[in-house]
Amino acid sequence: MSSSSGDKVRASHILIKHQGSRRKSSWKDPEGAVISNTTRDEAVAQLKALRDDIVSGKADFNDVAARYSDCSSAKRGGDLGPFGKGQMQKPFETTTYALKVGEISDIVDTDSGVHIIKRTG
């Protein structure tokens, strides 16, 4: 893999924020009331359940992102668009680049919260 500007990936994600998140508010919890009372373990449990539904085909990734993600990308079904190296938090970037297109990650921790990532390009 070269590190040229053409070396971009595209991904969608679902973010669940929790007490340890850098910013404890989101588009669906502007006051941060829910986020401040959510432990990391609770956030992970919720995300694992959502991931199981997606992987088993019971739910669609984009629909789940639109409903549950604490990131404003929820409005786009979780789509973050294309990005290159150095644009995302390191664990997020490393995981995305390691996925094959169409693959969904396990739980990824960043300063923002816990995520599952789907590489789309």
**Structural domain includes residue 3:** no
Catalytic entry in 12, 21, 69, 115: 115
Report angle CA 117, 17, 114 to the nearest 5 degrees: 35
* 112 is known as an active-site residue: yes
**Structural domain includes residue 50:** yes
**Structural domain includes residue 2:** no
Looking up residue 71, the CATH number of its domain turns out to be 3.10.50.40
Report angle CA 120, 75, 53 to the nearest 5 degrees: 60
Domain boundaries, position 34? 9-119
**Structural domain includes residue 80:** yes
Catalytic entry in 13, 26, 73, 105: 13
**Structural domain includes residue 70:** yes
As a whole number of angstroms, the distance between CA 111 and CA 114 comes to 8
The pLDDT of residue 6: 66
Does position 3 have pLDDT exceeding 50, yes or no? no
Does position 4 have pLDDT exceeding 80, yes or no? no
**Structural domain includes residue 1:** no
Condensed to tens digits (0 to 9), the pLDDT of residues 11-63 reads 999 999 999 999 999 999 999 999 999 999 999 999 999 999 999 999 999 99
The total of structural domains in the chain comes to 1
* 115 is known as an active-site residue: yes
**Structural domain includes residue 52:** yes
* 19 is known as an active-site residue: no
**Structural domain includes residue 24:** yes
Catalytic entry in 21, 26, 71, 73: 71
Instruction: Map residue 35 onto helix, strand or coil.
Output: helix
